Amino acid sequence: MPSLLIADDHPLFRAALKQAAREALGRAELHEADTLEHTLAVLESQPQVDLVLLDLHMPGNHGLAGLAAIRAQFPGVAVVVVSANDDPRVVRRALDHGAAGYLPKSAGLEELRAAITAVLACETWLPPALRTSVARAQSAPGDADLAARLASLSPQQFRVLTLVADGLLNKQIADRLGVQERTVKAHLTAIFERLGVRNRTQAGVVLRSLELSDPARQVEA
């Protein structure tokens, strides 16, 4: 029986995704999360999850950083990005960073069913209206290399990187992760080497390069 995690901070949209998943799959094990931290916790506690439907702009997520975190920490889990942003360049970046599919929030239930079915069959899926424009979109310079470098980090190293990007000091990171400070320093040495950076400031910049503007917030503003 397929196992899906619906990661979105809007309850009504999660309900719509659950309905579509049930219609597409019949029997399925469904989990929900409303923040990136909650999403990672569910994946940690539910290793049988096959697919995540991931909102790019849920709390704790900053653009493609959440996608990168899932791909680094849970490489066996497929991710379909769900976003109000349907810019072909953004879709291209999501695919370059390991998304198995991309679904605009304006999509109907039929497209959602098609996306779930295709990705669970180990196929890449895009809505027909976006396929031509995404195929023409050029990858952002360095994105493929960055995705490979991030994917080379261990789960704990990626957690350290995200906390560095949030501005935490080594002692704070150690307290947060329940490890010794020298362990954090060892992780940072490995992170700097794998990302090709010299210090924590440059490492934070690398992760923040994955941030994207949220069209919904722009409308609200």
Identify the residue with better confidence: 134 or 109.
134
* CA 23 – CA 18 distance, rounded (Å): 9
- Residue 111 tokens, joined: 């497209």
Contacts (Cβ under 8 Å, ≥6 apart) of 91: 102, 126, 130, 134, 137
Judged against a pLDDT cut of 90, whether residue 17 lies above it is answered with no
The pLDDT tens digits for 60-81 are 777 788 898 898 889 899 999 9
Calculate helix-pair angle for 65-73, 143-151, nearest 10 degrees: 40
Judged against a pLDDT cut of 70, whether residue 219 lies above it is answered with no
DSSP assignment, residue 9? S
Instruction: Transcribe 191-213 into DSSP letters.
Output: HHHHHT-SSHHHHHHHHHTT---
Report field, pTM of the whole predicted structure over 0.95:
no
Specify the long-range contacts of residues 120-128, CB closer than 8 Å, at least 24 apart. 120/2, 120/25, 120/50, 120/51, 120/78, 122/78, 124/95, 124/100, 125/80, 125/100, 125/101, 126/91, 126/101, 126/102, 127/102, 127/103
- Residue 150 tokens, joined: 């991030």
The pLDDT tens digits for 116-174 are 889 999 999 999 999 999 999 988 778 888 888 888 888 889 889 989 988 999 999 99
